[in-house]
A and B are shown apart, each in its own frame.
Chain A
Amino acid sequence: MGLSASELARKTALHALNRLGFGPRPGDVEAVLDRGVEDYIRKQLDPAPDAALESRLAPMQNTLRLSTTQVLVTYADSGNLASSVQAYLDNFQNAKIIRSVHTVNQLDEVLADFWFNHFNVNINDGFVRYAIQSFERDAIRPHAMGKFADLLKATAEHPAMLYYLDNYLSTAARTVNGRLVQGLNENYGRELLELHTVGVDAGYTQADVYDAARAFTGWGIDNTGRGGNFRYLSTSHDTGAKSAFGLQLSAGGQKDDGERLIKYLATHPNTARFISTKLARRFVADNPPQSLVDRMSEVWLATDGDIKAVVKAMIGSSEFWSEAFSSAGKPKTPFEYVVSSIRAVGAEVSSATRGVGAYLSQMGQPMYQCIPPTGYSDSGAEWLNPSSQIYRMNFALDLAQGLVTGVTVNVRNFALGADLNSPSSVAKAANSEVFGSTFAPSTLAAASRVDTRITNPSAAVRVSALLLAAPESQVR
């Protein structure tokens, strides 16, 4: 059963919107068709300034632009902590939802989300809450499509990471009267290898972990109460010789021990493979084909870990567009589901932290609150379970009715050109104008059976609620 040329084109446009971004807004499929998928992809790979987004964020810039020191001085050190810090935290999280929903640079935003999750820190972990805004803004975002080595170094030096993985406490062994009073903390050294670079199956040993941790002794924070800046303390550095996963560091090294290890790991073949696999898992399929991972790894090594080049190779692959992966659909994570639903219904976000945040917590993916350094799973199948599902349905039902705080919905945006008094007209319009005509006839029929005698909420609103909660909306 073949698709017609126009059906195929719509499906391709939808696939690009679903996989490079957080899914279509009403009219997006048509817009991509008008200018061509290649042009859409080119613009996604070369993000231009987004003035409309900036004006949406403008009311929050008073806290969004604060340095960690300013956040600490304003909120942690002022004595009136609890109530005022919440405004900063709300703005920070709200900005992420607004960016994800409204930016035209969707791929850049998806990659920022991917890299934050890859270099996870937990907002509830003490000092991290004050440094997390700078971590995302200054360490993650600037490098989302840059060189991986720069990204890795920026995270390694960032106080949020130094605190979260305890490296700020890690020093050369110091004994007083023969008793250890300060010394090595392995946490960062281990996760650097296991999660950030070469991956757990790379074959490193405990001795490699130990020496990787030693290479970063002295990398710390000037003052977690009033400063919040990176500080290297040479007196805390272990200057002995080190051997970490094949890299020999001779005795006498200082901060360059860690810097050399970062450069070495960033372009290691295991890193290329490990992170190419993760990227392909996020963008293509839960179990990405080895052929694709191999090609991305080759590009990684040929370009010294140039993220944009690797992503470009992925998008240009036949696997990315293959029927096998696109028609099966990849289950959305809770965050992807929430953002894509808000986009699909054509809603506007003003201040959604409290409203949206609670739903995400129920679905098992509270924003910025992943406790372990592994981050949240990029595998869609892991998010499919009854618990998450009931809250997804409830979110869709609430969203369509305009019950999600901070999100403004007008069903006319969703049902472009439809007769709002006719359920089947609403379902048909949404399927064609929003979803690229990909919903099953049985799904449209089920939604179209709503009782028009019930007026509050209106039939059109109830149709939109059911389509947002439908099976097709769970995958991308």
Chain B
Amino acid sequence: MNMPFDPSRRIFLRGASAAAVGIGFGPSALMSRTAQAAAGQKVFVQVFIRGGVDTLNMVVPYGESAYYDIRGAIAIPRPGQTNGALRLDDTFGLHPALADLMPLWSDGRLAIVDAVGNNDLTRSHFDAQDFMETGTPGNKNTPTGWLDRVLKMMPGSSVSEAVAFQAQLPRSFMGPEPVLVASNLTSFNLKVGTNWRTEAEAALRDMYGSRQDAVGKVGRETFEAIDTIVRSPVLTVAPGNGAVYPNVSIGTSLRQAAQIIKAGLGTRTIFVSVGGAFDTHSGQLAAHQTELPRIGGSLSAFARDLGPLMDDVVLMLVSEFGRTAFVNGSAGTDHGSGKAVFVMGGGVRGGRVLGTWPGLASSQLYQTRDLATTTDFRDVYSEIARKHLGLTDMATLFPGYSPGPGVGLLA
């Protein structure tokens, strides 16, 4: 009657994880799995900043005097000045609160693609996120998310593996492929007294196991997740190389993402959703001072933690839209268009700002108010899908769009 683990009902992390389940999975097995992970299975991590972060103040075009004219009191000073930008090249500098990213930049492991967006302009948070997550801007009826389609076409396996750090299933993963969704994996377990744990779990597995509807499916997925991750030592592994993650949600998510990657469970895509004070209609400078170090610190800790394993990982950080080029009437910025995308990891041709910079002169702005879009976001997505994950069928991945060759992001 007591069936703590039934292999026939496994849903999560099939493939490599069979040995990783249950009581027999000890630290030594974990070490050998780490070696397997190092053998080269590629992992893609997408970090999604919700709220429309103002990338014009993250990647500061200090070389353009127009920037200082239109940004006024919220402009980031030029490199070398007090609280000035950190020089990236002759045109761009990084917001000083992102200083943690500078070593990655200098080592050539972090690249930036600027003026990214799409032509189906929406300045709605919800729609813009939807379009970025389905990969079909302008079409709200796409049933699947772009990462669901990525999972479906992974070569060599009919089932691929995915983890999303968010309280709800992200649009990016909507579709038939199984996904583990959790905002924090450490509390992901049944909480019940030891004297009736076995009984409670068996009863609940029975109840959910016999149902064919969506509720039954989610119940079975829940127990599979407990089997494969929570009851394994995966989440007990400490960060490597002295990495210290900021104790905020993005830090916790990326720490657990690194633990899963190090465990070599066969996970191929990880999605991290980040909320915070990014919708800076007012008081932008102070909000960025709080939020940006969390982003920079977490990305930097992730790279340090993974060490050489980072060669098999590409991490892309995006938000739904850029913000108005002009400062608004309340020391903030309103919803805009073109934005910068950050990409780091193995194979990234880093240390450069890629894409075509459209300029900030009034005639160069989109609708005379926003940074224009010169690179469709699907060109960035597809370059990663092709060169990092080895996918070829871009017509299926991005229905109705033929991605160009990309911007030279990856070797």
Q: Taking beta carbons and an 8 Å cutoff, which residues of A are in contact with B?
A: 166, 169-171, 173-174, 179-180, 182-187, 190, 194, 200-201, 206, 209, 328-329, 331, 362-365, 371-372, 374, 377, 381-391, 393-394, 397-398, 440, 442-443, 446-447, 449-451, 454, 456-457, 462, 465-466, 469-471, 474-475
Q: CB within 8 A of B72: which of A180, A363, A398, A447?
A: A180
The total of Cβ contacts below 8 Å across the A-B interface reads 172
Please state if A166 and B222 are interface contacts (CB–CB under 8 Å): no
Docked pose: A371 CA to B279 CA in angstroms: 10
* Chain A positions within 8 Å of B206 at CB level: 442, 446
Q: What are 29 A-to-B residue pairs whose CB atoms are below 8 Å? A: A170-B329, A183-B328, A184-B329, A185-B330, A185-B334, A186-B328, A187-B334, A190-B123, A200-B122, A364-B183, A374-B126, A382-B169, A383-B168, A384-B218, A385-B168, A385-B179, A385-B181, A387-B167, A387-B183, A387-B188, A388-B181, A389-B222, A394-B191, A394-B192, A398-B191, A440-B210, A442-B206, A443-B207, A449-B1
* Chain B positions within 8 Å of A186 at CB level: 281, 328, 334-335
Docked pose: A274 CA to B206 CA in angstroms: 41
B17 at the binding interface (Cβ < 8 Å): no
B398 at the binding interface (Cβ < 8 Å): no
B327 at the binding interface (Cβ < 8 Å): yes
Q: Taking beta carbons and an 8 Å cutoff, which residues of B are in contact with A?
A: 1, 50-51, 72, 122-127, 140, 167-169, 179-183, 187-193, 195-196, 199-200, 202-204, 206-208, 210-211, 213-216, 218-219, 221-222, 225-226, 275, 279, 281-282, 326-330, 332, 334-335, 367
* Chain A positions within 8 Å of B208 at CB level: 471
Please state if A386 and B203 are interface contacts (CB–CB under 8 Å): no
Q: Tell me the nearest residue of chain A to B1, going by C-beta.
A: A449
Please state if A194 and B124 are interface contacts (CB–CB under 8 Å): yes
Docked pose: A365 CA to B401 CA in angstroms: 36
Q: Tell me the nearest residue of chain B to A371, going by C-beta.
A: B275
* Chain B positions within 8 Å of A179 at CB level: 72
Please state if A362 and B187 are interface contacts (CB–CB under 8 Å): yes
Asked, given contacts A179-B72, A398-B191, whether A442 binds B207 with beta carbons under 8 Å apart, the answer is yes
Please state if B215 and A471 are interface contacts (CB–CB under 8 Å): yes
Q: Tell me the nearest residue of chain A to B329, going by C-beta.
A: A183
Docked pose: A389 CA to B123 CA in angstroms: 33
* Chain A positions within 8 Å of B199 at CB level: 449-451, 454, 462
Q: Tell me the nearest residue of chain B to A328, going by C-beta.
A: B213
Docked pose: A377 CA to B168 CA in angstroms: 10
* Chain A positions within 8 Å of B225 at CB level: 386, 390
Taking the closest CB of chain A, its distance from the CB of B65, in whole angstroms, is 15
Asked, given contacts A471-B208, A471-B215, whether A169 binds B282 with beta carbons under 8 Å apart, the answer is yes
Please state if A390 and B188 are interface contacts (CB–CB under 8 Å): yes
Please state if A180 and B327 are interface contacts (CB–CB under 8 Å): yes
Taking the closest CB of chain B, its distance from the CB of A421, in whole angstroms, is 16
Please state if B330 and A169 are interface contacts (CB–CB under 8 Å): yes
Pick the most buried of A362, A364, A389: most chain B CB atoms within 10 A of its CB. A389
Taking the closest CB of chain A, its distance from the CB of B193, in whole angstroms, is 7
Asked, given contacts A180-B72, A200-B124, A471-B207, whether A386 binds B214 with beta carbons under 8 Å apart, the answer is no
Q: Tell me the nearest residue of chain B to A385, going by C-beta.
A: B181
Please state if B222 and A386 are interface contacts (CB–CB under 8 Å): yes
Q: Tell me the nearest residue of chain A to B169, going by C-beta.
A: A385
Please state if A386 and B221 are interface contacts (CB–CB under 8 Å): yes
Please state if B218 and A386 are interface contacts (CB–CB under 8 Å): yes
Taking the closest CB of chain B, its distance from the CB of A440, in whole angstroms, is 8
Docked pose: A372 CA to B29 CA in angstroms: 44
Asked, given contacts A180-B72, A386-B222, A475-B215, whether A397 binds B328 with beta carbons under 8 Å apart, the answer is no
Please state if B204 and A393 are interface contacts (CB–CB under 8 Å): yes
Q: CB within 8 A of A385: which of B210, B218, B327, B328?
A: B218
Task: Across the A-B interface, give the 9 residue pairs with the lowest CB-CB distance, nearest first.
Answer: A364-B167, A183-B329, A169-B330, A387-B182, A385-B181, A386-B222, A446-B206, A394-B191, A166-B281
* Chain A positions within 8 Å of B193 at CB level: 457
Q: CB within 8 A of A462: which of B168, B200, B202, B218?
A: B200
Q: Tell me the nearest residue of chain B to A450, going by C-beta.
A: B199
Please state if A166 and B282 are interface contacts (CB–CB under 8 Å): yes
Please state if A386 and B329 are interface contacts (CB–CB under 8 Å): no
Taking the closest CB of chain B, its distance from the CB of A119, in whole angstroms, is 16
Q: CB within 8 A of A372: which of B180, B279, B328?
A: B279
Q: Tell me the nearest residue of chain A to B226, going by C-beta.
A: A390
Q: CB within 8 A of A364: which of B168, B215, B218, B330?
A: B168
* Chain A positions within 8 Å of B216 at CB level: 471
Q: CB within 8 A of A173: which of B190, B196, B218, B329?
A: B329
Q: CB within 8 A of B281: which of A185, A462, A475?
A: A185
Q: CB within 8 A of B196: which of A398, A454, A475?
A: A454
Please state if A466 and B195 are interface contacts (CB–CB under 8 Å): no
Please state if B203 and A446 are interface contacts (CB–CB under 8 Å): yes
Taking the closest CB of chain B, its distance from the CB of A442, in whole angstroms, is 5
Given A385-B169, A385-B221, 7 new contacts (CB under 8 A): A186-B335, A194-B126, A206-B367, A328-B213, A442-B210, A457-B193, A469-B204
Docked pose: A389 CA to B303 CA in angstroms: 32
Docked pose: A174 CA to B330 CA in angstroms: 11
Asked, given contacts A170-B329, A206-B367, A388-B168, whether A465 binds B200 with beta carbons under 8 Å apart, the answer is yes
Docked pose: A12 CA to B189 CA in angstroms: 36
Docked pose: A185 CA to B284 CA in angstroms: 13
* Chain A positions within 8 Å of B125 at CB level: 372, 374
Docked pose: A449 CA to B198 CA in angstroms: 12
Docked pose: A464 CA to B275 CA in angstroms: 37
Please state if A206 and B123 are interface contacts (CB–CB under 8 Å): yes
Docked pose: A27 CA to B327 CA in angstroms: 60
Please state if B329 and A462 are interface contacts (CB–CB under 8 Å): no
Docked pose: A451 CA to B215 CA in angstroms: 26
Docked pose: A387 CA to B271 CA in angstroms: 14
Please state if B219 and A389 are interface contacts (CB–CB under 8 Å): yes
Docked pose: A447 CA to B208 CA in angstroms: 12
Docked pose: A329 CA to B215 CA in angstroms: 10
* Chain B positions within 8 Å of A372 at CB level: 50-51, 125-126, 279
Please state if A450 and B203 are interface contacts (CB–CB under 8 Å): yes
Taking the closest CB of chain A, its distance from the CB of B2, in whole angstroms, is 11
Q: CB within 8 A of B329: which of A169, A374, A440, A456?
A: A169
* Chain A positions within 8 Å of B196 at CB level: 450-451, 454, 457, 462
Q: Tell me the nearest residue of chain B to A380, going by C-beta.
A: B214
Pick the most buried of A386, A389, A462: most chain B CB atoms within 10 A of its CB. A386
* Chain A positions within 8 Å of B124 at CB level: 190, 194, 200
Pick the most buried of B179, B222, B279: most chain A CB atoms within 10 A of its CB. B222
Taking the closest CB of chain B, its distance from the CB of A190, in whole angstroms, is 7
Docked pose: A179 CA to B68 CA in angstroms: 12
Docked pose: A362 CA to B226 CA in angstroms: 16
Taking the closest CB of chain A, its distance from the CB of B189, in whole angstroms, is 7
Q: CB within 8 A of B335: which of A190, A201, A386?
A: A190
Docked pose: A185 CA to B190 CA in angstroms: 47
Docked pose: A449 CA to B327 CA in angstroms: 66
* Chain A positions within 8 Å of B169 at CB level: 382, 384-385
* Chain A positions within 8 Å of B122 at CB level: 200
* Chain B positions within 8 Å of A170 at CB level: 329-330
Taking the closest CB of chain A, its distance from the CB of B73, in whole angstroms, is 9
Q: Tell me the nearest residue of chain A to B191, going by C-beta.
A: A394
Taking the closest CB of chain B, its distance from the CB of A211, in whole angstroms, is 14
* Chain B positions within 8 Å of A442 at CB level: 206-207, 210
Docked pose: A356 CA to B123 CA in angstroms: 36
Q: Tell me the nearest residue of chain A to B330, going by C-beta.
A: A169
Please state if A394 and B215 are interface contacts (CB–CB under 8 Å): no
Docked pose: A182 CA to B332 CA in angstroms: 11
* Chain A positions within 8 Å of B202 at CB level: 449
Taking the closest CB of chain A, its distance from the CB of B119, in whole angstroms, is 15
Docked pose: A329 CA to B193 CA in angstroms: 31
Q: CB within 8 A of A386: which of B72, B180, B192, B279?
A: B180
